[in-house]
Amino acid sequence: MMSTPGTPIVELRKVTKVYGSGEASVKALDGVDVTIGRQQFTAIMGPSGSGKSTLLHVLAGLDNPTSGQVVVDGHDITSMDDDALTVFRREEIGFIFQSFNLVPTLSAEDNILLPMKLRGHTPSAEDKQFMAKVIRMLGLENRLRHRPKEMSGGQVQRVAVARALVARPAMIVADEPTGNLDSESTAEVLELLRSAVDELGQTVVMVTHDEQIASQADRILVVRDGRIAQDRVPLRSTSPAGEKH
């Protein structure tokens, strides 16, 4: 569950990721050392093939490093077997993807509740109160009975954001969450992620290719050739959506 401020939420220690072997091998991450704080919005940027998506996947437990250590919310996930890691991801990490990944046959409400159901968790009164707060914040009150095909792209992504938030995980990871959205919907989703940090105390780590989108974060990590090339505080943009590329 979501933790209080204090120790970092993520620590990568000399993390290397190599795909393939021999002459065909590719070093996607090259001895990365980085720490990500709690209740912070961190953007990861870099050119295609830089290792930014690999970095996100490794810190979220979606991919195992070749060497090094990954600690998330005090847990060394590199020491976990596949079953334990699956449970950890389900319990501690909320995911937001570019392609939404909602279940098309379920209503918005059932999609939002899916992480709790997968845990076998019956929502408590406190859970229901928090869910109602998230739904109000995301403006989904009138869309709960709609299926994904009955909603706009922006509304569908709001449902995906709500699904990631309601179980109050330790961290939210977002992989190009605005990549399939127009400028207006992009601005809305970024505002919601910003609110998740500022109003709900959540931690968000987001991969994006767009500098203006990244400028809405608290911190930007720029990855090049599998290493952290820059670690900087962004200049806040007055146009969070930017131009859709």
We report the CATH number of the domain holding residue 122 as: 3.40.50.300
Residue 208 lies in a domain: yes
Residue 1 lies in a domain: no
Rounded Cα distance between 212 and 14, Å, is 30
Smallest CA-to-CA distance from 177 within 17, 91, 56 is with 56
Rounded Cα distance between 51 and 57, Å, is 10
CA distances from 198 to 16, 126, 132, 194, 214 (A): 33, 20, 17, 6, 16
Q: Looking at residue 5, what is its pLDDT?
A: 47
Residue 223 lies in a domain: yes
The low-confidence residues of the chain, meaning pLDDT below 50, are 1-5, 237-245
Q: Looking at residue 229, what is its pLDDT?
A: 96
Residue 238 lies in a domain: no
Q: Looking at residue 239, what is its pLDDT?
A: 46
Domain count, the chain: 1
- Tell me what the pLDDT averaged over the chain comes to: 88
- Containing domain of residue 80, as a range? 10-232
The answer to whether the CB of 45 falls within 8 A of the CB of 208 is yes
Residue 46 lies in a domain: yes
Q: Looking at residue 244, what is its pLDDT?
A: 38
Q: What are phi and psi of 37, to 5 degrees?
A: -80, 160
Residue 48 lies in a domain: yes
Residue 245 lies in a domain: no
Residue 183 lies in a domain: yes
Q: Looking at residue 200, what is its pLDDT?
A: 87
Q: Looking at residue 236, what is its pLDDT?
A: 62
Q: Looking at residue 180, what is its pLDDT?
A: 81
Three-state DSSP class for residue 238: coil
